[in-house]
Amino acid sequence: MNKSLLATEQISEAHRDLETRSTPQVVQALVDDQLHAVEAVQRAAPQIVRAVERAAERMLEGGRLIYVGAGTSGRLGQLDASELPPTFSWPPERALACIAGGPEALWRAVEGAEDDFEAGRRDVLALQATSSDVIIGIAASGTTPYPLGAFAAAREVGALTIGIANNPETPIVQQSEVGIVLDTGPEVISGSTRLKAGTAQKIALNTFSSTLMVRLGKVYGNLMVDVQATNAKLLARAVRLTVAATGATEAEARAALERCGYRVKTAIVMLEKNLGAEAAQALLDEVDGNVRRALGS
């Protein structure tokens, strides 16, 4: 595909005089343009729904989320993967990321790495991907060889492929089982897809993974009840969440949390069902950690 035809590579005619504008005007132009990122994700909502529903099936089989991308897209994939364990107690070995050029590329550009199709294929196969896994390929252009190589590996093992791109009718979309098109158009600074294209990717990834966690029982109501309370801020949050879920006093919530190792779900069931920590955890285990089912409501 001719990259010069891609919308993300086009020159924004509305911003040809950008460097002549005042600082407030440049800031306003960049901020205003970000609104198009939100609009692009809104248009892609039905595609995100399909991606969540298909991915949930694989996760219930014990599968993994494997994010693959280059440059900004790869870093955003790594970010989404790294945030799932502390936010939802998702096992870290089930949220992985491959970035073109390897870990060094998280901090500095590795020239030419994104063009290595075989590296994308090798990196996914090195993770011993299976048919239960979900490979999420991310590329603003939609043409990047590295994630396309990852898709080739995914097809070899029968893994689900989800493609996220900022240009329609591109290989990342066409070669995935579920394509998510975030059509953000030209950038204020032409070609710099770390701007609204990257913003749209971040919103889409947040939406996809958070909805997936909701479907997998990692949320009770709208409370983040699977949080890992690993520091003072999160310990305090665990108390607030337990109080919000049960109506208990802060002292009661803290006492329950202390008895169960600060597992919010367990504390909620303890307080609502008047159970000890072991019995509450056993009840949760019977219903795959779903608080509402454990409470019988």
Candidate list 19, 93, 111, 114, residue with the active-site label: 114
Best CATH choice for the domain 3-215 from the list 3.90.1150.10, 3.80.10.10, 3.40.50.10490, 3.30.70.20: 3.40.50.10490
Catalytic entry in 9, 39, 83, 252: 83
Known active-site residue 114:
yes
Above 90 in pLDDT, residue 283? yes
Spatial separation of the C-alpha atoms in residues 76 and 59, rounded to whole Å: 21
- Residues 194 and 189: their CA atoms lie apart, in Å, by 10
Mean pLDDT to the nearest integer, 97-123? 89
pLDDT of residue 66: 98
- What rounded mean pLDDT belongs to the chain? 95
Query: Annotated catalytic, 19?
Result: no
**Residue 163 structure tokens:** 């493609």
Residue 137: predicted pLDDT: 98
Residues 197 and 140: beta-carbon distance below 8 Å:
yes
Which pLDDT does position 297 carry in this prediction? 65
Span 23-33, average pLDDT: 97
CATH topology of domain 232-294: Helicase, Ruva Protein; domain 3 (1.10.8)
Of the candidates 102, 112, 181, 110, the one whose C-alpha atom is nearest the C-alpha of residue 141 is: 181
Amino acid identity, position 73: S
CA distance 99 to 71: 7
- Domain ranges within the chain, ordered by starting residue: 3-215, 232-294
For the cut 60, the answer to whether the pLDDT of residue 2 exceeds it is no
